Amino acid sequence: MKATVSGALIIASERGIITAIPKGTPVDVVSSIAFIAVENAKIAGKAANSELSASEGLSRMMDVTVSAVTGMSVSFIAGAEIGVAVGLLFTPAIGVAAGFVAGAVGYIAGSKVGQAVSKGVKAIGKAAISAVKTVGKAIISAGRAVVNAVKSAARSFVRSVRSIFR
């Protein structure tokens, strides 16, 4: 499925049907885009069928996207740098092979970093939600206190006015 989507994206990009992906975008980048799109579509389907809550669905989509993008980024950097270095020391063919291996290892390492980042962002989000709830409760409590004070003052005023006319 992902290979089919990737192929369709490449063709659509090259023909100018999809302008969000520029012509000449490397196949591995388009494959990563297809991977993210298919995985997120599966998650959205599970959320739509109530197999996941909307919150859990968004959380999983974030995990998939951040892990894939981080993995891809590290893969390109590691693969290119190691491939060039080995290619200069030995032969270009060995450099290409070393770059490929380094890219694969870099992808795995990068996706693990992406997962850690995603978990950290979620933890920060949970803490922020907790803080907002606490502040909100304090505001509501203060608002109630003000309303009660105004009610009390109004009752006291009304009693004072009534006592004058009795």
Cβ 115 vs Cβ 63: under 8 Å: yes
pTM of whole model > 0.75? Answer: no
- How much is the average pLDDT of 53-61? 85
- How much is the average pLDDT of 144-154? 73
| Residue 27 predicted with pLDDT over 70 | yes
- How much is the average pLDDT of 40-65? 86
Instruction: Give the closest residue to 83 by CA, choosing from 67, 64, 102, 56.
Output: 102
Q: What are phi and psi of 128, to 5 degrees?
A: -65, -40
The set of residues, in sequence order, having a beta carbon less than 8 Å from that of 36 and lying 6+ positions away, is: 64, 65, 68, 69
The predicted pLDDT at position 51 comes to 92
More confident residue, 47 or 148: 47
pLDDT digits (tens, 9 = 90+) for 76-103: 666 666 666 666 667 677 666 766 666 6
pLDDT digits (tens, 9 = 90+) for 34-50: 888 888 888 888 888 88
Instruction: Locate the domains of the chain by residue range.
Output: 1-52
